[in-house]
Structure 1
Amino acid sequence: MANSDTSDLLSIEELSTIISLSISTIRRRIRDGSIPAIQPGGKGTKLLIPKEWVNQQATISKSSRLEPSSSGRHQRICISGPTPRWKK
């Protein structure tokens, strides 16, 4: 059962399935600041990402908003990864 304080937050694993990025890529982007994250339990505890950020990214990329579908699962949102070094 979700706590009301964390109902608008996603774990790294949940975000990974929604935006189709690996967990290590999400952790890297949290570290460099491109994905906002909070630790409600303090340092060394689980990182959580606000759903609002995912919705903003979906709006920016002109994709559908993060809404549970009729099956209860979230729609997949594609956020492109970094530009490969050979393209720079």
Structure 2
Amino acid sequence: MNTSISAAFHTIEELAPKLAVSISTIRRRIRDGSIPAIQPGGKGTKLLIPKEWVNQQATISKSSRLESSSSGRHQRKSISGPAPRWRK
């Protein structure tokens, strides 16, 4: 891969461990539009994800982790339905 392209983009194989998801999950998210990607060589060639997008996502996830940790304890969702026998 060209060094200028590799400096600006990640391949799916490089991105999977960084996001801690599988390659098929990344492909699925590219298909549904939640991850932007380009295919400079045309159909059947490598998909490339901009490093700028990855950095944005890292910034967003850090800020959301900070917000959730500063809000105190996590509130537990109540589950509808009958109470279990051990709680009666």
Normalising by the smaller structure, the TM-score range is: 0.5 to 0.7
Q: Separation in 1 of the partners of 2:56 and 2:36? A: 12
TM-score by length of 1: 0.66
Q: Which position in structure 2 is the counterpart of 1:38?
A: 38
Task: Mark the structure with the bigger radius of gyration.
Answer: 2
Give ranges in structure 2 of 5+ residues lacking alignment: 64-88
Point out which structure has higher relative CO (alpha carbons under 8 A, 6+ apart): 1
DSSP-derived class of the 2:10 partner: strand
Instruction: Spell out structure 1 runs of 4+ moving beyond 2 A.
Output: none
Q: C-alpha root-mean-square deviation of aligned residues, in Å?
A: 1.6
Give ranges in structure 1 of 5+ residues lacking alignment: 64-88
Alignment length, in residue pairs? 63
Identity of matched residues, %: 76
Q: Separation in 1 of the partners of 2:4 and 2:60? A: 27
Q: Which position in structure 2 is the counterpart of 1:71?
A: none
